Copies of this chain bind each other. A is one copy, B any other.
């Protein structure tokens, strides 16, 4: 007799699809078996022929970056569950983890206990942290943070290098970042040296986009009187992204440090990743789901910007061919109405909002159901690969004996028309409003508990139970997370 048995479904891992069920005990998977060979369960869930995927590991959200962390967690982690996310990776500067948040830069060791405390109270997904380093003094914490808090991944907002040159001109800068930066290649290089020494799964993550150059186009477009969303994209040409990848991949090779490119949004970047690999660099590429769904002829702006439709096709290809490794949401919560946001032209409004709740629906509707990627490959890029790269695999990201019992039940044939009423985020509207999407998560299980359900006929997803998310320290020196 186990705690829970899930049957009547098809298990999807990166390796393929099998007709089998799962037994859960103590929040972990204890058996995977043909339905008839499963042990009995206290609770039995029949998923009615639907697909059972591992919970999504969304390695990048900036929840807490614009609103108080505690507040954001309460709503946004619901949105994450709605999108099938069971493990969430926070990218935050230390100032946002302080109470109250501050533009100054405290040490992470000072604010991490608070982060874990607040997170464990309010977050509905399990979660880990990728600190955004913005000042050189923070580097020396790297070994200690690994040991005390299991932190093995770091993020660099390379676009903000030398930011004082251009940020003051950008009215939305404060809203968007709200922290000071002061770093150079020396800080990045030293960090990579230290991260390299952690051993696997140590990794340096980069937002690659050379704004020192983009600012030139920025000024020109403003001068030309351009205000359309396409102008936002033109201001940051493909080569600004690929240029950064080339430069820092070269320095990563010198520091012998694995790196992760958070936004591969152009084919020039795809080629830069391939070239770095041939040069012996251990490099991974991520594409936010948003770049696969919206083109630069839409109303929305992000950083890096949306690209044209031809490029979107290239990004789907790079993903399905295994050149880029992961997808993520880059969820940011802007509490502002659609009308209010669109009142501003592209030069004064902040980028966003991104939608974690649409992470999996995009992959299912735009991807699987349009034959751009297979369902097992979605599991690879949305669950397994991010878990591997960030040191959580096989605890997270897969369906194996001993792994956490995190699942998303997916109905690949279900069609829903998106509308603002579905939205759980405190930004109570969605850029997908009006989209008809086929393929939806209908149930989410976190460590053996059903935490989200969206029954046929309900207007919006139901979040179930109290917040039970837990902070996930990684284990330095272990490429695979050691299941005890």
Chain A residues with a Cβ under 8 A of chain B: 2, 11, 15-16, 18-20, 23, 25, 30-34, 37-39, 162, 165-166, 184-186, 189-190, 210, 212-216, 237, 239, 242-243, 246-247, 250-251, 254, 274-275, 277-278, 280, 376, 393-394, 398, 400-402, 480, 483
Copies in the complex: 4
Interface centre among A186, A189, A254 (most CB of B within 10 A): A186
> Could you tell me if A33 and B34 are in contact, using CB atoms closer than 8 angstroms?
no
A74-B254 Cα distance, complex, nearest whole Å:
46
Chain B residues positioned under 8 Å from A189 (CB to CB): 212-213, 216
Chain B residues positioned under 8 Å from A280 (CB to CB): 274
> Could you tell me if B243 and A247 are in contact, using CB atoms closer than 8 angstroms?
yes
> Could you tell me if A401 and B16 are in contact, using CB atoms closer than 8 angstroms?
no
> Could you tell me if A402 and B20 are in contact, using CB atoms closer than 8 angstroms?
yes
A394-B17 Cα distance, complex, nearest whole Å:
10
Closest-by-CB residue of B relative to A377 is B479
> Could you tell me if B401 and A33 are in contact, using CB atoms closer than 8 angstroms?
yes
- In-complex Cβ contact of A274 among B20, B39, B215, B278 (8 A): B278
A225-B212 Cα distance, complex, nearest whole Å:
37
Sampled A-B contacts (14; CB under 8 Å): A11-B401, A15-B393, A15-B400, A25-B34, A31-B31, A32-B33, A32-B401, A33-B33, A33-B39, A37-B39, A162-B184, A246-B246, A274-B277, A277-B278
> Could you tell me if B18 and A402 are in contact, using CB atoms closer than 8 angstroms?
yes
- In-complex Cβ contact of A165 among B186, B398, B480 (8 A): B186
- In-complex Cβ contact of A216 among B166, B186, B213 (8 A): B186
Closest-by-CB residue of B relative to A376 is B480
> Could you tell me if A213 and B251 are in contact, using CB atoms closer than 8 angstroms?
yes
> Could you tell me if B254 and A239 are in contact, using CB atoms closer than 8 angstroms?
yes
A398-B13 Cα distance, complex, nearest whole Å:
13
* With contact pairs A31-B31, A401-B20 given, residues A15 and B186 touching in the complex (Cβ less than 8 Å): no
A210-B162 Cα distance, complex, nearest whole Å:
15
Interface centre among A2, A37, A275, A278 (most CB of B within 10 A): A37
Q: How far is the CB of A479 from chain B (nearest CB, A)?
A: 8
A19-B242 Cα distance, complex, nearest whole Å:
44
A237-B184 Cα distance, complex, nearest whole Å:
17
- In-complex Cβ contact of A15 among B2, B184, B394 (8 A): B394
Q: How far is the CB of A158 from chain B (nearest CB, A)?
A: 11
> Could you tell me if B31 and A32 are in contact, using CB atoms closer than 8 angstroms?
yes
A115-B257 Cα distance, complex, nearest whole Å:
49
A20-B16 Cα distance, complex, nearest whole Å:
21
> Could you tell me if B23 and A30 are in contact, using CB atoms closer than 8 angstroms?
no
Chain B residues positioned under 8 Å from A19 (CB to CB): 401-402
Chain B residues positioned under 8 Å from A483 (CB to CB): 16, 18
> Could you tell me if B239 and A250 are in contact, using CB atoms closer than 8 angstroms?
yes
Q: How far is the CB of A213 from chain B (nearest CB, A)?
A: 5
A400-B398 Cα distance, complex, nearest whole Å:
13
Q: How far is the CB of A424 from chain B (nearest CB, A)?
A: 33
Closest-by-CB residue of B relative to A28 is B34
Closest-by-CB residue of B relative to A482 is B16
